[in-house]
A = this chain, B = another copy of it.
Amino acid sequence: MSSNKGSSYSEPRTASTRRGPERFWDTTVAHDLAFLLARANALSLARMHAEIEPHGLKARSYSILSLAAAGMLPSQRELSEFLRLDPSQIVTLIDDLEQRGLVIRESDPRDRRANVVVATEEGHKLAEESRIAVMNSEAEWFSALPEEDQISLRRILGVLAAAR
């Protein structure tokens, strides 16, 4: 299996006979925090989308609907900051939710420039349904981890996510 005929170069051209991307896990990139975060997030997003797309939501619309349904009365500006999205993207997302009768925009009486996002009855129902779906799919994914690690991860990510 190992045809090692004269490796006089600093980096062997024919290299090992092993193939497939698994071998990349030994490298420094693969231990990089940014890389690990990106990959874990990609996997998490894919799972979440598979779970809530049947409900007509994606990660972002789900977040907005959830905050509205939690009675937080978020303004669009607040959503923009919290979700790290441009204000114009928030407009589009809420347009969609509003057209589907899940939320409404109410003018904030304290500042008539601002809109406050409120969930309708339908919005509340969908928020609850999809919340359960998301939590189930998360629980499934995390079952690979010992409970102690699950708790640590949530706590540590909380610190990083809240930090600038």
Contacts and interface: CB of A to CB of B under 8 A. Distances in A.
B161 A43 contact: yes
Contacts of A2: none
A21 B152 contact: no
Given A15-B73, A149-B152, A59 B84 contact: no
A28 B131 contact: yes
Copies of this protein in the assembly total 2
Q: How large is the interface on A (under 10, 10 to 19, 20 to 34, 35 or more residues)?
A: 35 or more
Interface string A4-30: 000000011111000111011101110
Contact of A156 (B78, B134, B152): B152
Interface of A: 11-15, 19-21, 23-25, 27-29, 31-45, 47-48, 59, 62-63, 66-67, 70-75, 78-79, 81-82, 84, 109-110, 131, 134-135, 138, 141-142, 144-145, 149, 152-154, 156-164
A160 to B, nearest CB: 5
Contacts of A157: 33, 36-37, 40, 153
B78 A161 contact: no
Contact of A45 (B23, B34, B74, B82): B34
A160 B24 contact: no
